[in-house]
Amino acid sequence: MSKLSGVFTGGAEAYGRFVEVFIDGHWWVVGDALENIGKTTKRLLNIAYPFLNGGSGLRGSSPEVSGYAKPCKEIEQRFKD
């Protein structure tokens, strides 16, 4: 009977370790998720409202509107260089 005296204590200790690892792991995952959500939200807000951080307004994606990516040579010449 003396060998059974530590069974409850050992079981409670093992359960406590399991719960500690379980809770710590969940806090880690939740913390990482919240950090990534925050970074993504900040990035999306910077794209949607760039003037809030000193940037200019949104540019058009079309080269005619934005003025970028104007071709400077013929298509055949691009592949020969």
Better-scored residue on pLDDT, 56 or 42: 42
Furthest C-alpha separation in the chain: 94
What is the SS3 assignment for the chain?
CHHHHHHHHHHHHHHHHHHHHHHHHHHHHHHHHHHHHHHHHHHHHHHHCHHHHCCCCCCCCCHHHHCCCCCCCCHHHHHHC
Q: Let me know if 22 is exposed, middle or buried by CB neighbors in 10 A (0-12, 13-18, 19+).
A: exposed
pLDDT tens digits for range 2-48: 566 677 888 888 899 999 988 988 999 999 999 999 999 988 888 88
User: Which residue matches tokens 């000193």?
Assistant: 54
In this prediction, residue 9 carries a pLDDT of 84
Determine if the pTM surpasses 0.85: no
